[in-house]
Amino acid sequence: KKLSKQAKINKLVRERDAGKPCISCGEYKPLEAGHYIAVSKSTKLRYDLRNIHGQCRACNGHPLYGNLVNYRKGLISRCGLESVEWLHNNK
């Protein structure tokens, strides 16, 4: 079965971030590919790996809907403030 582009990116993110904690809560749980800048806010960043990191199901979806305050903190820690600013400036 042929995977969609999004499914391929999600798989790549899960492989890249395997063994790392959830970028938002820091817990070691099974990871999903969570977007920092939502696809609905920027289709341009939909497939950009700088915008997608491993998140646990609770942080990525209901009830936390991205857990973005903590995602930002985790992203700064993992990638640097410049990366976060770049994402915000390139929506």
Give the contacts of 23 (CB within 8 A, at least 6 positions apart): 17, 34, 53, 54, 55, 59, 71, 74, 75, 78
pLDDT for 91 equals: 85
Q: What is the pLDDT of residues 4-46, one digit of tens each?
A: 999 999 999 999 999 999 999 999 999 999 999 999 999 999 9
Q: What is the DSSP letter of 35?
A: E
**E strands of 1-91, at which residues?**
31-35, 52-56
What pLDDT band is residue 73 in, cutting at 50, 70 and 90?
very high
Helix (H, G, I), strand (E, B) or coil at 54: strand
Question: Checking phi first, is residue 53 left (phi over 0); if not, alpha (psi -120 to 50) or beta?
Answer: beta
Q: Indicate the pTM of the whole model.
A: 0.92
